[in-house]
Amino acid sequence: MSSGPWVLRSLLFVPGNRPDMIAKAGRYGADALILDLEDGVAPEEKARACQVVAGALEAGIPGSPIVFLRVNGSGSGLLARDLREAFRPGTAALCLPKCETPEEVVMLDASLRALEFQHRLPGGGTRILPMVEGARGVVQAAAIAASHARVCGLAFGAEDYTADLGVRRTRQGAEIAYPRAAVSVAAHAAGVDAVDGIYADFRDTDGLRADTGAARALGYTGKMLIHPAQVGPVHAAFAPEAAEVEQARRIVAAFEAAGGSGIVVVDGAMVDRPVVLRAQRTLAIASRPAVDRERD
């Protein structure tokens, strides 16, 4: 398994039935957009959303952002239509919501192979981001993360998870402590990104920072967002400190000086390839501005 060729700190949801919002979404500096056909779209608007998303992908979204497409899940009865009517070249990855088994990912791969052939795209190039949002998905998280080479990460959805268990979602988050950690561990075990779920109160910047900091402490590398105002605070929360950046530079420099293989010693500690990969990611994140486009 592997993560995508991206540094994804922020993935901003955009309702698929709102062409006005899609047209502006690339301005806000998010690392990726998620054009939503699922929970962000009312049932009576879902067919229209497919048409809107297809048109936007065909025309090209201003700013040329990385585009994910959240389809309706395997049990919805809508997945085949979403893929047929909304998928177009320019879709970097599919978000598979409420994923509970590795078989769902394998089945989606089969559909993607047919779509890639139809649209003359490189086989296997479209990634999959399974979203773990229920008890069964948490139990199966490691198998889901390792299910296919298309998997670029594993996302945790706290809102649907608590609904599945029938428990109250609290600000303190004790009810999601175990599954949130379990999904991150599963992602890292498979060598893919760990993407945290939304923070629903987009006006609460302090709460967002604290929530993102807690996610980062658990190993999450990115977060899903519901409002452009959340982009800057999330990027700041994921930004490495100056000492981390300097150490990462020394690690990468020492590794390259050693020919890019084996084990090197930096600051008295032995450094192997996983540490170097983490250092390279730190430098990649540090090179990205907090928000690099105008907000409207």
Q: How many CA atoms lie within 13 A of 133 on its CB side?
A: 16
**Which contiguous run of DSSP H or E holds residue 165?**
helix 158-165
58 is in an annotated binding site: no
44 is in an annotated binding site: no
**Which contiguous run of DSSP H or E holds residue 153?**
strand 153-156
Residue 196 φ then ψ, to 5°: -80, 155
Is 66 in a helix, a strand, or coil?
A: strand
Residue 201 φ then ψ, to 5°: -85, 90
CA–CA distance, 61 with 87 (Å, rounded to integer) = 14
How buried is 5 (Cβ within 10 angstroms: 0-12 exposed, 13-18 middle, 19+ buried)?
exposed
Q: Give alpha helix (H) positions in 191-218.
A: 205-217
Q: Is the dihedral of CA 14, 80, 7, 235 positive or negative?
A: positive
70 is in an annotated binding site: yes
For the annotated binding site for substrate, the residues are 70, 133
For the annotated binding site, the residues are 70, 133, 160
For the annotated binding site for Mg(2+), the residues are 133, 160
